[in-house]
């Protein structure tokens, strides 16, 4: 019985049955995978596409709005949107039009276009951070903001929260405290173990201790944890965390790669977070590789003083990349911001998100599970306990691998896709009430079978 109240044997039976069903439905994907294994490790162009699930990857043909279709002709309602990289839904007409026009006129010049000016102005107006730079991903943005923080403070160390994820960058792929610090993945230099300190989320005392040596360049954090289910900050947490960081001479970096899609202007605006540096990416490019970061006027001056040419210069800040800030990505970002990520669209998505969370809790109650489904914007989570988690450690208890894998496979076979094991359902801006209803119907069938064999 793991987690509590779930019959392990029943979970296993469901898993076996659904795996057989999946194999039947995805024969063409299986053929493509076999062929692809001869030219790509794991048969995929990027490792995660094979690592996302215990089952084989499905090969996609096309998508529109909340749906995509695979090579076997199966249609899926997507409740993850490429880990929020396609939060506007697939092929949103406004972005598709802008990208088509831009591609026909040249995608990349290593020179600025007007779209970049407009995207920067819109981001400044929405988030309160006055100056912006563009990269190719949120990971790349985090790499650059850490460099800026190091130069600004003359310090090397980074402070982060357990349950963090800030991209596949060396500095933050470390977990564990003090002597227990360990790499989260292979291929990283040993030296990074000494340059990061990690403390539990919502633990102000631990934060204060970690800052005490005054050797931290920046505290880098999501406004709330979104890579281990979802974990909200305690009331007043951010005001005090910010005060402690500033008092210790550290900058505050807020990473809104996910949370920017939860509220207009992101949670930075909604919760008044006042960071020194702010990272966004993913959905703002609407599927086109994109990243950006905002900064204060003071940090912008620093970037101006330490301008780097295309060849690394000793006095230049190491910022930039050949395809960063390219015309195509900026056209996509401008169209997304101007035409899709409107106040009204955020409001509508959050309203539907609330229906999703309320509906899930109703399903849990109906099937006599004392579980919760917190909501932020269009995102929810399956919390397999009566209390919401306050830390990553508490949240991990709801992410039991077998439970999540079985649930996702059951739902996949019924046309619901959730790509990320440690996330939870998320609505795109293209989802409609009927899509939420379908999710709840399938969720109910799964929970009913767990409770009493269906």
Q: Which residues bind ligand PLP (CB under 6 A)?
A: 83, 137-139, 142, 165-167, 222, 227, 255, 257-258, 281-282
For ligand PLP, the closer CB: 29 or 227: 227
Q: Which two tokens stand for residue 32?
A: 């493509």
For ligand PLP, the closer CB: 140 or 248: 140
CB of 257 vs ligand PLP, minimal distance in Å: 3
CB of 215 vs ligand PLP, minimal distance in Å: 24
For ligand PLP, the closer CB: 150 or 166: 166
Q: Give the chain's end-to-end CA distance (angstroms, integer).
A: 18
CB of 359 vs ligand PLP, minimal distance in Å: 25
Sign of CA dihedral 294, 79, 433, 369: negative
Q: Token match 């996302």: residue? A: 52
Bridge partners (DSSP) of residue 379 are: 376, 426
Determine if residue 282 is left, alpha or beta; phi over 0 gives left, psi from -120 to 50 gives alpha, anything else beta: left
Q: Rounded CA gap, 249 and 153, in Å?
A: 8
For ligand PLP, the closer CB: 80 or 413: 80
Q: Token match 């006095």: residue? A: 315
CB of 363 vs ligand PLP, minimal distance in Å: 27
- 90 touches 63 (CB < 8 A): yes
- 450 touches 410 (CB < 8 A): no
For ligand PLP, the closer CB: 290 or 369: 290
For ligand PLP, the closer CB: 63 or 281: 281
Q: Rounded CA gap, 201 and 196, in Å?
A: 15
CB of 138 vs ligand PLP, minimal distance in Å: 3
CB of 146 vs ligand PLP, minimal distance in Å: 12
Q: Rounded CA gap, 310 and 95, in Å?
A: 30
CB of 282 vs ligand PLP, minimal distance in Å: 5
For ligand PLP, the closer CB: 15 or 167: 167
DSSP 2: -
Q: Rounded CA gap, 324 and 328, in Å?
A: 10
For ligand PLP, the closer CB: 19 or 270: 270
Sign of CA dihedral 206, 208, 210, 213: negative
Burial of 434 (0-12, 13-18, 19+ CB in 10 A): exposed
For ligand PLP, the closer CB: 80 or 296: 80
CB of 263 vs ligand PLP, minimal distance in Å: 15
CB of 324 vs ligand PLP, minimal distance in Å: 12
Q: Which residues contact 166 (CB under 8 A, 6 or more apart)?
A: 138, 139, 142, 160, 172, 220, 255, 257, 279
Q: Rounded CA gap, 172 and 166, in Å?
A: 7
């Amino acid at each position: 019985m793991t987690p509590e109240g779930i019959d392990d044997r029943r979970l296993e039976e469901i898993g076996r049955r659904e795996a057989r069903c999946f194999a039947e439905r995805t024969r063409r994907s299986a053929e493509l995978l076999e062929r692809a294994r001869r030219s790509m490790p794991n048969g995929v162009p990027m490792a995660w596409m094979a690592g996302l699930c215990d089952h084989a990857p499905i090969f996609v043909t096309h998508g529109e709005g909340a749906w995509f279709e695979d090579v076997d002709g199966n249609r899926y309602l997507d409740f993850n949107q490429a880990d929020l990289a396609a939060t506007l839904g697939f092929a949103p007409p406004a972005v598709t039009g802008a990208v088509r026009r831009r591609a026909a006129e040249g995608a990349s010049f290593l020179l600025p276009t007007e779209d970049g000016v407009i995207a920067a102005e819109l981001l400044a107006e929405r988030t309160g951070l006055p100056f912006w730079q563009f990269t190719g991903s949120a990971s790349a943005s985090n790499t650059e903001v850490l460099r800026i923080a190091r130069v600004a403070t003359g310090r090397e160390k980074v402070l982060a929260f357990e349950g963090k994820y800030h991209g596949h960058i060396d500095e933050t792929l470390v977990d564990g405290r003090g002597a227990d610090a360990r790499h989260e993945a292979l291929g990283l230099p040993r030296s990074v173990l000494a340059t990061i300190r990690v403390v539990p989320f919502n633990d102000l005392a631990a934060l204060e201790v970690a800052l005490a040596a005054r050797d931290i360049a920046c505290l880098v954090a999501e406004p709330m944890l979104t890579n281990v289910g979802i974990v909200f900050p305690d009331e007043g947490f951010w005001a005090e965390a910010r005060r402690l960081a500033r008092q210790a001479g550290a900058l505050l970096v807020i990473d809104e790669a996910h949370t920017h899609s939860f509220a207009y202007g992101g949670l930075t605006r909604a919760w008044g977070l006042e960071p020194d540096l702010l990272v966004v990416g993913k959905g703002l490019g609407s599927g086109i590789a994109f990243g950006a970061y905002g900064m204060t006027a003071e940090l912008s001056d620093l970037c101006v003083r330490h301008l780097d040419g295309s060849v690394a210069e000793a006095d230049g800040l190491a910022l930039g990349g050949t395809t960063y800030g390219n015309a195509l990505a900026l056209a996509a970002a401008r169209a997304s911001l101007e035409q899709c990520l409107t106040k009204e669209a955020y409001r509508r998505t959050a309203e539907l998100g609330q229906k999703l969370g309320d509906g899930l809790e109703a399903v849990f109650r109906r099937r006599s599970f004392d579980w919760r489904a917190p909501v932020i914007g269009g995102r929810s989570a399956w919390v397999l306990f009566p209390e919401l988690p306050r830390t990553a450690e508490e949240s991990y208890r709801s992410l039991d691998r077998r439970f999540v894998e079985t649930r996702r496979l059951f739902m996949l076979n019924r046309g619901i896709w959730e790509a990320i094991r440690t996330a939870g359902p998320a609505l795109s801006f293209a989802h409609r009430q009927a899509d939420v209803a379908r999710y709840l119907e399938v969720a109910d069938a799964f929970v009913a079978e767990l409770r009493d064999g269906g």
